[in-house]
Amino acid sequence: MIRKKIKHLEIILKVSERCNINCTYCYVFNLGNDIAINSKPIISHQNIKHLKHFFERATREYEIESLQVDFHGGEPLMMGKERFKAACKELMSGDYQNSRLSLACQTNAILIDDEWIDIFSKYDVSVGISIDGPKHINDKHRIDRKGRGTYDDTVAGLKKLQAAWEEGKIADEPGILCVANPSVKGADIYRHFVDVLGCKKFDFLIPDESHDTCEDPHSLAEFYCSALDELFNDADKDIYVRYFHTHIHSMLASNFNPVMGMSKSTNDTIAYTVSSEGELYIDDTLRATNDNIFTSIGNIKDLTLSESINSWQMQKYMQVNNQTPEPCSECIWKNICGGGRHIQRYSKEDDFNRNSVYCPSIRKIMSRTASHLISSGIPEEKILTNLGVHN
């Protein structure tokens, strides 16, 4: 029997449904959805086993190139070191045919110490840090339960990780995830990450806003464009900003580099969210919509991958992913943008049938990217061809 092929299967695993800080923009706790707070605070080891068995069933059903588990929260390190180690060991013990398994963790870094470094090293866990820029910017939104800023504690954890990477204790350079803030200059955030924090790998996340919640769809353009200018003007060409480099690659090569949440047609790359209770959901950011699409598909102890793919939630998700919104039909960026991330397309009135609420900003960002490429010597004709404008 020939198995169908899937390039990548990723699970955002909610190992902790609680957090030690209280970010104002958090889509898990502060945007009106109560799934997390009604779930068990920490995932059980039994549900870790259930996930391993889910992967084993999946790799017997499908030929899957790579598997990934993202330890997520809340704050994932709140599950504790012993439980974290046991989870890594359990997941790594699975029989996944020839599929590669990788482990990752997204953390605010406040709890990181030398013992955590040793755990990341032993189980080859790649680590991402959440921080939004300099202290005076980060501490407006990334605050603790008493309203105090978290910058200093996060940077202390980041520095420990960077030192461990430089010493060869961990394999991957720690990266940064930053939520874009339209009230500040992206160039300033870029320079802080590079010059002050010494980071060469980071990403700027578009805020999880829908047509029902976004107040100014034009506001992000200046943030992103100023950061993009810094990237192209930077003498250090080893700096990688995922949002920008994804689109740069798409403009330079006709075989697009699909990234979940940023590119159209990523159906061979599948991602789910699994709660501490073992419930399987689609794209985690969609919990902020409170739409029925973010209801449980089922529990991983019972589900097969094919059943989850054939669920109405996933079928609707993929349908939205593959359909270009009508306002995008004549847009030259449609093959890169695809109408925007699902959360940005959502409204209570029209469901997911609109284009991104941030469309005005995204168009400006794409245009600025193409302009930089042309200025650096890339023929305009090549870019247009790779965009699908010219056959």
Please indicate, yes or no, if residue 375 is contained in any of the structural domains.
Answer: no
Please indicate, yes or no, if residue 156 is contained in any of the structural domains.
Answer: yes
Q: Which of 56-65, 149-158, 238-247, 311-320 has the lowest mean pLDDT?
A: 311-320
Please indicate, yes or no, if residue 357 is contained in any of the structural domains.
Answer: no
Please indicate, yes or no, if residue 48 is contained in any of the structural domains.
Answer: yes
Whole-angstrom Cα distance, residue 91 to residue 217?
42
Please indicate, yes or no, if residue 94 is contained in any of the structural domains.
Answer: yes
Q: What is the pLDDT of residues 281-307, one digit of tens each?
A: 988 777 766 668 888 999 999 999 999
- State residue 115 phi and psi, 5-degree precision: -65, -40
- Give the pLDDT of residue 3: 78
Helix then strand then coil, in percent of the chain rounded to 5, is 40, 15, 40
CB 276 within 8 A of CB 14: yes
Q: Find residue 201's DSSP bridge partners.
A: 240
- Give the pLDDT of residue 260: 46
Using the predicted structure, report yes or no on whether residue 37 has a pLDDT greater than 90: no
Helix axis angle, 81-92 to 45-61, nearest 10° = 20
The torsion angle over the Cα atoms of residues 22, 135, 259 and 388, rounded to 10 degrees, is 130
Please indicate, yes or no, if residue 126 is contained in any of the structural domains.
Answer: yes
Q: What is the pLDDT of residues 42-101, one digit of tens each?
A: 999 999 999 999 999 999 999 999 999 999 999 999 999 999 999 999 999 999 999 999
Average pLDDT, the chain: 91
Please indicate, yes or no, if residue 109 is contained in any of the structural domains.
Answer: yes
Q: What is the pLDDT of residues 326-339, one digit of tens each?
A: 889 899 999 889 89
Specify the residue for token string 């059943």: 307
- Give the pLDDT of residue 28: 67
Long-range contacts of 231-239 (CB under 8 A, 24+ apart): 231/190, 232/372, 232/376, 234/194, 236/194, 236/200, 238/200, 239/194, 239/200, 239/201
Please indicate, yes or no, if residue 376 is contained in any of the structural domains.
Answer: no
Q: What's the alpha-carbon Rg for the chain, to the nearest Å?
A: 21
Based on the structure, what is the number of domains in the chain?
Answer: 1
Boundaries of domain holding 107: 4-345
CATH at residue 71: 3.20.20.70
- Give the pLDDT of residue 38: 73
The confidence band for 276, taking pLDDT boundaries of 50, 70 and 90, is very high
